Chains A and B, each alone.
Chain A
Amino acid sequence: MTGVALGAAADAASGFAAALASGTATASALDVLTTRHAYVAFALLLCIGLYMMIANQNLVKKIIGLNLFQTAIFLLFITSAYVEGGAIPIVPEGAAETGTFVSPLPHVIVLTAIVVGVSLTAVGLALCIRIYDEYGTLRTDVLRELLRDEGSLPERPAVGGADGGEADE
């Protein structure tokens, strides 16, 4: 999964480099870092978020990882919508339609996605509170043990693993 995301991010960056900065497509790694730092940050945030979700034992930190993951995607949309010298796309009546405008669509998408993300975080934290009330812990390893004692989980972990599965795709 991480590999796909990384490769895809590189694709996005290079595709964009070719499309926007025509002629300078032969960018070295340093150039990518200095001129496309937002895309680098996007890929980094995505990977850090994913890693936190998989590797961290604490449920609340998993949710923080989830938020980082989503934030990375917001960053991608915002970065892609940036236009050098672009104006707000509001044209007063009678004014001449000159100059470049920024497409409002990516911003609207990010606004909506933020709302979705906040509601998800709320549901996730509510579930964390319930789990903590019931079992007195938020660590998945302890929790799995408790659930196994209780009989809510099968003795042997199922094939594929509970959290490792998504990393292998």
Chain B
Amino acid sequence: MSDVLLPVAIAVPLVAATLPLALGLKYERAGWPVAAVATTALAGLAAAIGIEVARGGALSHALGTYEPPIGIELVADELSVAVLALVAAVSLATLAFARVAGPRGNSFYSGYLLLVGGLTGLVLTGDLFNMFVFLEIVGISTYALIAADRSGASAYASLKYLVVGTVGASLYLLGVGYAFLATGTLNMLDMQAQIVQQASYADPLIRASYALIVAGLGLKIAVFPIHAWQPDAYQRAPDAVTTVVAALVSTASAYALIRVSYTVFTVDFLAANDAITTGMLIVAGASILAGSALAAMQSDLKRMFAYSSVAQFGMIVAAIALANETALLGGIVHLVGHGLLKFGLFLGIGLLALGYGARKLDDLASAARSAPYTSGAVALLGLGLVGIPPSIGFLGKWYIGVGAVESSMAGGDPAGIGIAVVIFVSTLFTLSYVARVIERFYFAGVGLSDGHGDDHDESGHGDGGGHDDADRGVAADGGRESVTDDDGDGPLTPVEGAPRSRLVPDRVPPASLAILVLAALTTVALGFGGYALFEWFDPYLTEVFA
């Protein structure tokens, strides 16, 4: 009976998406409460699904009682539950920020719920064509949300994304069409069996199908040569939208790629088609290097972390193409971990922009003084992105790297070592741009005001790992009070009407700040839970690599 949870989890946000518009006829501010209730319900359902899967293994539901090979199947296994949890948590957490940062209006919340419903469906579906439909629901609502602040620049960025994203989804559909021609089925598990029975892994139709699906989803994920839509879209979108889109949309497409590669085409297919996996590894390697290098060249914070996403998703694609157990585990952990890290980073940037009007790196001199908690959390998340050990960012990268080396050792294929080297180089690049941010936050502008006292204090802390950043924030907090008390022209000035709180000196909305700090601490906590993550994904990995 518990399998009914799956369609309910998809239906709740989709049905709720109609309510803000309908209620908007009567109440002006109906959107936020509806979205809050729906995403809370989704979080509850996700937790319930997670418990069911933990207890009894994968859940499956036949929609409309049409049995799977013919009807549409919804499936929740360990992998989909992990991504579903990320979707539910991020969509709920972003709402607190959207309430203060806008965009306002009921239509925004309708689009938001549509996006959440699409993501939920994408994660839970077990049918290839159904996946296309959810991919497009996610796409359409993302295009609308990116342009939600009604500026011309965001409309242009959104249109660019629309054209590229639609080509991506269409290529995916074309790939599914080829596979359908070869096998006559659309159910993922059934197709896995039919590819062996009716075709073979060397069948040109099957190969073309996989190549088209990879190209299509690659466009949606934004890997290197076809990433050009992504930085503009992330930078031009309203802050709350960037937060949710950066954390979830590309993540869901990468999830789709993992699902299609390993559930439909299987490891044996990847092993039998070296040309395709080598091609994917080259693209992924280029993506990792180019993304990191471009990120290091940016001065706009949102753009910087947008390019960093290109690099991180390159790693995930590499993990998929390496096709060994360790690398795939790393890819999945990094998928979830990166989603969480980017959620926190874009939320932190959004909060600084909201409270202090600062968007460029140069505007943020000594941000740690006026906003110790916000900058502390951003620094902690940034170090997680670099891959400093007690953070989930480290775990994912580590497993991908180890998997890459393992695959080289086992097969004598030099590509694996190449990927490991590329990941290492990219880590240095990541360190270079994250270090610029941290340097701005903590050390820049110390000579400007009379802050020599904390100057010493902070450089002492600066060498430490990312672990004590929250404490560092507290330490800087004490020093700052005296600075603003006497002159008040600190390097970072809050915008007029910025929220003020009695507990913290940060002039940012307290609820969002609490979520930001929580997200930063979660990434560290998950880093400590490496073994638990391994245990959780073990049934899925055993099934895939059986």
Contact = CB atoms under 8 A, between A and B. Distances in A.
A66 B161 CA distance: 13
Interface stretch (B25-33, B165-173, B473-481): B165-173
Contacts of B203: 15
B195 to A, nearest CB: 14
Nearest to B290: A159
A166 B160 contact: no
A39 to B, nearest CB: 11
Given A4-B212, A11-B208, A152 B226 contact: no
B186 interface: yes
A119 B159 contact: no
B324 interface: no
A147 B181 contact: no
B208 A124 contact: no
A88 interface: no
Interface in A110-144: 112-113, 116, 119-120, 123-124, 127-128, 130-131, 133-135, 143
A90 interface: no
Contact of A166 (B143, B153, B164): B164
A4 B211 contact: yes
Given A4-B215, A166-B219, A169-B215, A158 B163 contact: no
Contacts of A47: none
B136 interface: yes
Given A73-B173, A134-B152, A162-B160, A123 B143 contact: yes
A160 interface: yes
Interface string B220-241: 0000111111011000100000
Contact of A161 (B205, B228, B231): B228
Given A76-B174, A152-B153, A127 B159 contact: yes
B215 A12 contact: no
A152 B186 CA distance: 43
Most chain B beta-carbon neighbours within 10 Å: one of A103, A127, A130: A127
Interface string B192-224: 000000000001110110011001001100001
B294 A158 contact: yes
B156 A63 contact: no
B433 interface: no
Interface in A22-55: 50, 53
A111 B174 CA distance: 15
A127 B147 contact: yes
Contacts of B132: 113, 116
A163 to B, nearest CB: 8
Contacts of A147: 152-153, 156
B152 A105 contact: no
Nearest to B307: A158
Given A11-B205, A158-B228, A166-B219, 10 more contacts: A15-B182, A70-B166, A80-B181, A109-B177, A116-B140, A124-B162, A127-B143, A128-B159, A131-B152, A166-B226
B163 A53 contact: yes
A131 B156 contact: yes
A8 interface: yes
A63 B152 contact: no
Interface in B369-390: none
A59 B218 CA distance: 23
A64 to B, nearest CB: 11
A63 to B, nearest CB: 7
B446 to A, nearest CB: 30
Interface string B148-161: 00111101101110
A34 B396 CA distance: 54
A135 B178 contact: no
B290 A120 contact: no
A134 B155 CA distance: 10
A127 B236 contact: no
Given A73-B173, A152-B236, A158-B228, A131 B163 contact: no
A57 to B, nearest CB: 13
Contact of A130 (B133, B155, B228): B155
Contacts of A127: 143, 147, 155-156, 158-159, 162
B136 A120 contact: yes
A50 B111 CA distance: 29
